[in-house]
Amino acid sequence: MSRRFYIFYSVLLLFYGSSTLFSPVTGDLAGDRQALLDFLNNITHPRSLAWNASSPICATWPGVTCDRDGTRVTGLRLPGASLLGVIPPGTISRLSELQILSLRFNGLQGPFPIDFLQLKKLKAISLSNNKFSGPLPSDYATWKNLTVLDLFGNRFDGRIPSGFANLTGLVSLNLAENSLSGEIPDLDLPGLRRLNFSNNNLTGSIPKSLRRFGNSAFSGNNLIYENAPPPVVFPTEKEKENRGIYISEPAILGIAISGCFVIFFVISALIIICYVKRQRKKETETEKLKPAKELASKLVKEKNVEVMEEKIEIDRVMFFEGSNLAFNFDDLLGASAEFLGTGTFGMTYKAVLGDSKAIAVKRLKNVVVSRKDFKHQMEIVGNIRHENVAPLRAYVCSKDEKLMVYDYYPKKSLSVLLHGKDSDKGHVAHVPLKWETRLRFMIGLAKGLAHIHTEHKLAHGNVKPSNVFINSKGYGCISETGLAVLTNPFRRGDESARAFKRYRAPETIDDTRRSTPESDIYALGILILEILTGRSSMHDEEEEGIFIELVTWVNTVVAKQWTGEVFDLELVKTPNIEAKLLQILQLGLDCVSKTPAKRPKMVQVVKTLEENEGV
């Protein structure tokens, strides 16, 4: 070998790091790197992927993730990366440890990349929103561990292969928006949770094994529905119907109130009440949950104000002790209101009053209890005063409107802070949460719940991250206490109702209005796991249609003794908290025990959490 030739290769070797240029090595990181470069060099990508050949792939290549030791590539996520044309065969398929592959939202075409079937470790694959065409492969025996198969929005045709029956681990299967035809095979996949075959060209009837997904999973085909099912009503259409009854969101509750003649009188009454109240604050503050009618008549008498009492249906407005409501509903009418979001129980608005004080007003939907029961529950909830429970300040209970007034928390909910995601507003800027902040969220939340359970003999019923805020002392604070028993969230099949279900303990999952302290502890357990892992309850891999329940995931990882892997990277970076993390992880897992009796009591939870605060 000539000297010059030798130098040439040395330089090349140096440039390519430890990769071997002579033979395609599989089974190590160098092989993975070469496979990725071969892929990149043979596919059209008008936009650079910013894979710098002289930097380490695990740490710096966008879209590439590795196992914990950084020895193999386990994830490749290139959504919307402007990849065009046919995937070069024998490139990605060499990433033999690959578990997650997402190539959605690109311009990829050609037949199904058949060599992907060699990826035996694959857990989730999304090729959605590309231009793949032709028939689907028939044999899937190699994808033993696949849980998610997402082929939505391509041009696949031919039949749905009966070989899908071999995907025994499948949790989610999306074949919607393709050109698949023929009859649907009988797929006995008991683990399957999500399925969508909509908008294809399928014929015949829906096999028995798949009827549990409902007709909406099969719409837009030429299928014969057996047992003449009722026409499917989609949630969106339902919402539209509702819009006709309710005034559009940003038109704020103020308009809703003014639109209602009866409530107009309530407003007038409130103006008077609040005016007088401001002057006689001391006295009124000692009044504990007095119906406004009583207050009004008392004050009216004292102030000698003439009011046509019979016209005033003020028994529908209630204030609670310490509400300190230095505003009236006239202020509210002129207030700037902001739509905050649609929750499980209805819409929430932020209203800023004249004196720039902000309040949150919730409009309850689908109330299923009588007015008497409603008021009774309000009395219980309105009297809860604890620094870790968001106080209910006032409520309106009329025939048409159920409004609740809360303090407004300027810092975002735990959901936004933790996941950088607002269920209604999409992504917001994500700032990593520090360990202390997370711990204080948990401590405050547990204390608030313990107080509700022991002092008020009440279950919360809807513990979830979007209901947890930070109080003025920096600790967690739970909102929407006790509303779950009043409404039926499943009248609306929307996302928030589905989210609601994720925090339901197994024993209450079918009875949405039944809650117990034990079921609250279960929900708290899910929150603890979310806080430790930084993942959402329906562990949703970058929204790539990869839905694995958090509890299942944590248990799997822990069972494999990879406990370190479950924690949020931000926490792993924090020094000297490993022991605390492990203890709280165990606490979280105890809380989500399937058997209610095995879950710890809330006071124990508080104790364990508090032990981990400080040094």
Ligand X SMILES: *[C@@H]1O[C@H](CO)[C@@H](O)[C@H](O)[C@H]1NC(C)=O
Q: Would you list which residues are annotated within the binding site?
A: 362
**Token output for 443:** 């401590």
- Give the shortest CB-581-to-ligand X separation in angstroms: 23
Q: Which of residues 364-423 bind ligand X (CB under 6 A)?
A: none
Q: Kindly give, in sequence order, each residue whose CB lies less than 8 Å from that of residue 280, ignoring residues fewer than 6 positions away.
A: 299
Under rule CB under 6 A, residue 42 binds ligand X: yes
Nearer to ligand X, 161 or 291 (CB): 161
Q: Which stretch binds ligand X (CB under 6 A): 50-58, 410-418, 486-494, 606-614?
A: 50-58
Residues binding ligand X: what is the number (CB under 6 A)? 29
- The answer to whether the beta carbons of residues 266 and 399 sit under 8 Å apart is no
Coil, strand, or helix at residue 127?
Answer: coil
Nearer to ligand X, 151 or 396 (CB): 151
Region class of 560: left (phi > 0), else alpha (psi between -120 and 50), else beta? alpha
- Give dist(CA 610, CA 575) in Å, integer: 19
- The answer to whether the beta carbons of residues 411 and 441 sit under 8 Å apart is no
Q: Which of residues 11-30 bind ligand X (CB under 6 A)?
A: none
- Give the shortest CB-91-to-ligand X separation in angstroms: 5
**Token output for 22:** 């002579």
- Give dist(CA 132, CA 103) in Å, integer: 11
Nearer to ligand X, 315 or 494 (CB): 494
Nearer to ligand X, 162 or 552 (CB): 162
**Residue carrying structure tokens 């999409």:** 426
In the set 102, 130, 166, 515, which binds ligand X (CB under 6 A)?
166
Binding-site positions for ATP: 362
- The answer to whether the beta carbons of residues 258 and 333 sit under 8 Å apart is yes
Under rule CB under 6 A, residue 217 binds ligand X: yes
- Give the shortest CB-234-to-ligand X separation in angstroms: 7
Q: Which stretch binds ligand X (CB under 6 A): 12-20, 137-145, 300-308, 583-591?
A: 137-145
Q: Which of residues 83-112 bind ligand X (CB under 6 A)?
A: 88, 90-91
Region class of 366: left (phi > 0), else alpha (psi between -120 and 50), else beta? left
Helices 517-533 and 435-456: angle between axes, nearest 10 degrees: 180
Under rule CB under 6 A, residue 216 binds ligand X: yes
Radius of gyration of the chain (CA): 29
In the set 87, 176, 270, 458, which binds ligand X (CB under 6 A)?
176
In the set 84, 86, 165, 369, which binds ligand X (CB under 6 A)?
165
Nearer to ligand X, 57 or 389 (CB): 57
Q: Is the dihedral of CA 415, 420, 423, 425 positive or negative?
A: positive
Pairing of β 346-352 and β 358-364: antiparallel
Nearer to ligand X, 193 or 303 (CB): 193
Under rule CB under 6 A, residue 145 binds ligand X: yes
- Give dist(CA 32, CA 117) in Å, integer: 17
Compute how many other C-beta atoms are within 10 angstroms of the C-beta atom of residue 34.
20
Under rule CB under 6 A, residue 144 binds ligand X: yes
Q: Which stretch binds ligand X (CB under 6 A): 63-71, 192-200, 519-527, 561-569?
A: 192-200
**Residue carrying structure tokens 């006995």:** 188
- Give the shortest CB-200-to-ligand X separation in angstroms: 7
Please give the residue ranges that form the binding site for ligand X (CB under 6 A): 37-38, 41-42, 52, 54-55, 88, 90-91, 120-121, 139, 141, 144-145, 162-163, 165-166, 176-177, 179, 196, 198-199, 201, 216-217
